[in-house]
Structure 1
Amino acid sequence: MNKTPSPTHEPLRSAVLQALDAGRIKAISLDLDDTLWPIWPTIERAEAALAAWLREHAPATAVLAGNPQALREARHYLQIKRPDLSNDLSALRRESIRFVLLKAGDDPELAEEAFEVFFEARHRVELFDDALPALEWLAGRYPVVALSNGNADVHRVGLGRHFHHSISAREFGVGKPDARIFHAAAEAAGVRPGEVLHVGDDAQLDVLGGLIAGLQVAWVNRDGREWEHAPLQPHLTVPDLMSLCNQLA
C-alpha cells in the first residue's frame, strides 16, 4: 500500500472548530484493543498459558521468566536494541521469548512454538458487552476497517466477517498516530480521509492521530477520563460503542 506523505496541519485546525458531521461519514476505522475488548486481562491470560508451557518444555526458562515482568523487561531491552521490531509486536514477543530461552540455556528454537502458545491464547478475548452488537450495527451501514498497532487478527478472534479490511502497524510499516496509516484505512474503504470516522480509546494514538490525519474521531472513553489535550477535541466522546451507534442512528 502506498505510504503518502503526512498532511499539513490544516485538517487539525478545522477539527478543533467542527462538531461531528454524521452525514459526511462513509466509512469507519476502528481500533481493537481496549475498544472492542480489554487488553490487559487478555495479555495476562496469554502470559499464564506461556508460563505453563515453559514449565513443561523449558523449565530453566520457566524459572527465569517466572515473573511475567522478566519477559516485559526482555521486550523493553529488544525495543532498544532492535528498533526494526518497533511496529511488529508479534516479532518483538517472539524474539523476547528467544532471548530469555538463550539466557536460561534452553533451546532457542523453542521460541516459535512458545510464541504460538502465547498467540493462540492472546486471541481468546472477552468482548465488552456492547462490542458485538455495535460492530454488527456499524458493519451493516458502513465499511469498517480495523486499524491497530497491536497484533490481534480479527479473523482469529472470530470477528472477521464484520470487517471490510484490517490494517496493522506490523503489515503497514508505521502505526498510529502516523497519519499515513489512517489514510491507508480510508484508501482501503474507498473513501477520502475526511469521510472516515475513526473510533478508538487512546487519546494520543487514536484521537490526536486521527485529527491530525484529517478524519473525524469518536473517543471511546469507558473510564470517564478527563480530556487533557485542549483546545483540540474529539468530534464525539462516548462511554461505549452502543452510545456511538445511537449518535449515528
Structure 2
Amino acid sequence: MQPPHAFPSFTGIRAVTLDLDDTLWPIWPTIARAERVLLEWMHAHAPATAQALQDTTAVRAVRTEIVQLRPDLAHDLSALRRESIRLALGRAGDDTALAETAFDVFFAERQRVDLFDDALPALEFLASRWPLVALSNGTADVHAVGLGRFFHASVSAHLVGVAKPDPRIFALAAEAAGVPAASVLHVGDDARLDACAARDAGMHAVWLNRGGVDWPHEGAVPPATVASLAQLCQELAKG
C-alpha cells in the first residue's frame, strides 16, 4: 500500500458533498437482497421470467444487453433496471406491463440499507458544520433510507440527467449547496468517479479508501485519503 499523504487543512470549505453507495453503506449486499426479493415476486407473478433469471449470470446478461441497447440511459440506473425487467418479461412470454410493478418491488427493497458503523456519527458531525449534499450515480433516496434530516439537498444522476464523472453533476451539487465549487469538499469511495472527478470539477476531494488499496491512477497525484469516515471527521475536526 502506498504511504499516506498529509491531510490538508481544507480552509475555506463552505459545503460538503457526499457519495452514498459504498460510502455510507455497502451497495452489493443491498442489490443482491433486492434482486432476491424481485425474483420471489416474479415466481408469484411472472413464473416464466423467474425461471429464466434463476442465476445471477442470466440477470447480468440481460442487464449488459440493455446497457448496449440503450446508451441514452447510461446515467439512469433506475431506467436501466426497469428496461432490463421489461426485456426479460417479454422474452419469457410474460406480460411486459408487469415491469413497472416489478421495478417498484425492487426499488423499495433497494432503499433498505445497512449503514457502515461510522456513517451516522459522520453524518451528524458533517451536517452540524456544513450544508451537506448527497451526490450519487445510484438510485438511493436519502429520505427513503432514513437519512434525509442530515442533508441540505440531494443530487442524483437519474434525476438530473448526467452522472459522475461529468463535471456538470458536481456543478449542480455546488449550486444546490449555494456555494462555488471551489468552496466544496467532496467525499467518496471511487477514485475516478469521486476523487479525480471532483478535483477536475474544481472541488476539493477526499478519497474514502476503506479497503486500503493503492491509488489506481498513475500520473494523477492522490488526494487526501482516509480509511474511514471516522478518520475523516477526526482530520476535519483539527481544522
Q: Distance in 2 between matches of 1:234 and 1:211?
A: 11
Q: Alignment partner for residue 133 of structure 2, among 145, 165, 176?
A: 145
Q: Is 1:215 matched up with 2:203? A: yes
Q: How far off its partner does 1:171 sit?
A: 1.4
Q: Distance in 2 between matches of 1:61 and 1:235?
A: 46
Whether contact under 8 Å (2:85, 2:102) holds in the other structure is yes
Q: How far off its partner does 1:228 sit?
A: 2.3
Q: Is 1:136 matched up with 2:124? A: yes
Aligned residue for 2:33? 45
- Amino acid across the alignment from 1:121: E
Alignment of 1:77-226 (within 5 A): 77-226=65-214
Question: What secondary structure sits across from 1:155 in the alignment?
Answer: coil
Q: How far off its partner does 1:235 sit?
A: 3.5
Q: How far off its partner does 1:242 sit?
A: 1.2
Q: Distance in 1 between matches of 2:122 and 2:9?
A: 19
> Residue by residue, what CA displacement relative to the aligned partner does 1:25-70 show, whole Å, maximum 9, x if unpaired?
1100000000000000000000000111111111111100111322
Whether contact under 8 Å (1:26, 1:195) holds in the other structure is yes
- Amino acid across the alignment from 2:145: V
Aligned residue for 1:54? 42
Alignment of 1:2-81 (within 5 A): 20-81=8-69
> Residue by residue, what CA displacement relative to the aligned partner does 1:143-169 show, whole Å, maximum 9, x if unpaired?
010000111111111101100000011
Identity %: 59
Whether contact under 8 Å (1:97, 1:114) holds in the other structure is yes
Aligned residues: 232
Whether contact under 8 Å (1:29, 1:144) holds in the other structure is yes
Length-normalised TM-score, structure 2: 0.94
Q: Distance in 1 between matches of 2:88 and 2:56?
A: 11
Whether contact under 8 Å (2:9, 2:236) holds in the other structure is no
- Amino acid across the alignment from 1:228: P
Q: How far off its partner does 1:92 sit?
A: 0.7
Q: Distance in 1 between matches of 2:46 and 2:28?
A: 25
Q: How far off its partner does 1:204 sit?
A: 0.6
> Residue by residue, what CA displacement relative to the aligned partner does 1:123-153 show, whole Å, maximum 9, x if unpaired?
1100000001101110010001000011111
CA RMSD of aligned residues (A): 1.3
Whether contact under 8 Å (1:20, 1:235) holds in the other structure is no
Which structure 2 residue ranges, 5 or more long, are not aligned?
1-5
